[in-house]
Chain A
């Protein structure tokens, strides 16, 4: 699976949009971009995934660049409960998830 690079930490004000970037310049054509988050001392929680097109669900939006070398996870109205480590993972169907260091997002009041 392609390596991903994320900033180690980010801050966001409560109520504002949180935009979390991820670079995956070596991603191959059959690899999806997955986002998970882990709130302290809990198991990871699935957020969203995509292949080429932008995706949106009740939790977040995923914007993937046309060349697929990077993506951005958008939490439209961040709350204090969104404080967590966010992991961006590139994987092909069927492969196991391997986690990098992720981005510690802190939402401030």
Chain B
């Protein structure tokens, strides 16, 4: 089956620093990748949709200058949390859509990255 990886799986950073999270589709090409955020005991919230070669589309309320998304190739998207603050501590999950999907367009999820800002 399709595999999506994320790196790092866990990161701790100091307040004010920036953190980059990578999302890779390992055995398929993905024109579209999605970034979600999940706070404890809550559901996943879509942050942005990342299209290869074009600017990401952010959901309402998500600051595009704070959460920088780059999708430079069909297998890699990165999310950079700039000037991180403790309230940015969360579980960040990426998802990639299989380029070959027909009408159903399956999405495959990465294992998530736990960010803790101290």
CA separation between A43 and B34, bound complex, in Å? Answer: 13
- Are the CB atoms of B46 and A98 closer together than 8 Å? yes
- Known interface pairs A41-B112, A43-B109, A45-B109. Does A100 touch B43 (Cβ–Cβ under 8 Å)? yes
Interface of A is mostly: loop
- Known interface pairs A41-B91, A44-B93, A102-B43. Does A93 touch B103 (Cβ–Cβ under 8 Å)? yes
Q: How would residues 24 to 59 of chain B score, 1 for a CB under 8 Å from any chain A CB and 0 otherwise?
A: 000000000010100000011110010000000000
CA separation between A99 and B37, bound complex, in Å? Answer: 11
CA separation between A7 and B108, bound complex, in Å? Answer: 25
Q: Which of B6, B34, B102, B103 contacts A96 (CB 8 A)?
A: B34
- Are the CB atoms of B93 and A93 closer together than 8 Å? no
The size class of the interface chain A forms with chain B is: 20 to 34
Residues of chain B within 8 A of A97, CB atoms compared: 34, 46, 95, 107
- Are the CB atoms of A101 and B43 closer together than 8 Å? yes
Q: How would residues 74 to 108 of chain B score, 1 for a CB under 8 Å from any chain A CB and 0 otherwise?
A: 00000000000000000101010000001111111
CA separation between A101 and B42, bound complex, in Å? Answer: 7
Interface centre among A42, A87, A102 (most CB of B within 10 A): A42
Q: How would residues 50 to 74 of chain B score, 1 for a CB under 8 Å from any chain A CB and 0 otherwise?
A: 0000000000000000000000000
- Are the CB atoms of B91 and A44 closer together than 8 Å? no
- Known interface pairs A93-B103, A94-B105. Does A44 touch B44 (Cβ–Cβ under 8 Å)? yes
- Are the CB atoms of A32 and B104 closer together than 8 Å? yes
CA separation between A102 and B43, bound complex, in Å? Answer: 8
In the complex, how many angstroms separate the beta carbon of B48 from the nearest chain A beta carbon?
Answer: 10
- Are the CB atoms of A41 and B114 closer together than 8 Å? yes
- Are the CB atoms of B104 and A46 closer together than 8 Å? no
- Known interface pairs A98-B46, A102-B43. Does A46 touch B93 (Cβ–Cβ under 8 Å)? no
A-contacting residues of B (Cβ < 8 Å)? 4, 6, 34, 36, 43-46, 49, 91, 93, 95, 102-112, 114
